[in-house]
Amino acid sequence: MRVVVLEPLGVSQERLAELAAPLGEAGHKVEFYATRERNWAVMAERASDADVVVIANHALKGDVVRLCPNLKMISVAFTGVDHLDLEACRTRGILVSNAAGYATSAVAELTLGLALALFRQILPADGAARSGGTLEGLRQRELRGKTFGVVGTGAIGKEVARLAAAFGCSVLGHRRSVPEGTEEEGILHVSLEDLLRRSDLVSLHVPLTDATRGLIGEEALALMKPDGVLINVARGPVVDQQALARALREGRLGGAGVDVFDLEPPLPPDHVLFGIPRLVLTPHLGYATEEALEERARIALENVLAWTQGRPRNVVCP
């Protein structure tokens, strides 16, 4: 089998070679590209005769998939696969796996980091200290005693709940597959509307689907407390970013932390969220700790090896 890693995975080439060694020992050829290519025609050329390709979070269009006649498997070194043309894969019978679970701790820790940054106004405080200012005008709040709402109580959501509880928060959760009133692992599950009304902080941990696209829009934001905080480390389109900008600008929301956007960074200079008050932005780095990046590379390559041995795992398609 020819295995092509189409983009960098965030670990050194030496470490990648070590992780891929079992594939080589099994007689498979593994090639790595150290640069990310945005031109789909060049991507297709790189993968043209590959049996397996490995990608991270760079979009893989159906045009590329259709120009790779030998392609049988795609190993996604990421949790979400909405950047991949799954319909093209289904049509061709191409198996797709993901690296579920690799960034659970990383994303959960960023969620709490954004919460602390907003509640303690860390960025404005840094600016005040550097400009000779004081704490005057910097409203300070504690997480202790607050209600933390977690939308999407999968692995990451549960880890966020555990960390929030350690800070002394009570935790509400919402997940469509869990009946309201169910309490598990310290999370009381309620309706989305109830969670939005009651929570001091709301964090989002849902995949991007037809059901979650625009989940948090004008109506949902209107249900939140005027000093409530929204944190999105899930997928950008889960939140109507125009509506979020209006709510913050008009003082109808206490603050927001956003790590994901409608498009992948770099963001254009006229992005709707730039210049908005009480907003902390990070360039989609929730998953990108050193530890998590190594874990995802390991999982992605082990997924390939398992598939070649007839025991596919972490399959998301077909």
Q: Length of the chain, please?
A: 318
CB 108 within 8 A of CB 233: no
Supply the residues annotated as catalytic.
235, 264, 284
* Residue-wise DSSP of the chain: -EEEE-S--SS-HHHHHHHHHHHHHTT-EEEE-SS----HHHHHHHHTT-SEEEESSS-B-HHHHHT-TT--EEEESSS--TTB-HHHHHHHT-EEE--TTTTHHHHHHHHHHHHHHHHTTHHHHHHHHHTT--STT-----STT-EEEEE--SHHHHHHHHHHHHTT-EEEEE-TTS-TT-EETTEEE--HHHHHHH-SEEEE-----TTTTT-BSHHHHHHS-TT-EEEE-S-GGGB-HHHHHHHHHTTSSSEEEE---SSPSSPPTT-TTTT-TTEEE--S-TT--HHHHHHHHHHHHHHHHHHHTT---SEEE-
Strand 147-151 relative to strand 183-184, pairing: unpaired
Phi, psi of 206 (to 5 degrees): -115, 155
Tokens of 282: 């990070």
- List the beta bridge partners of residue 201: 148, 229
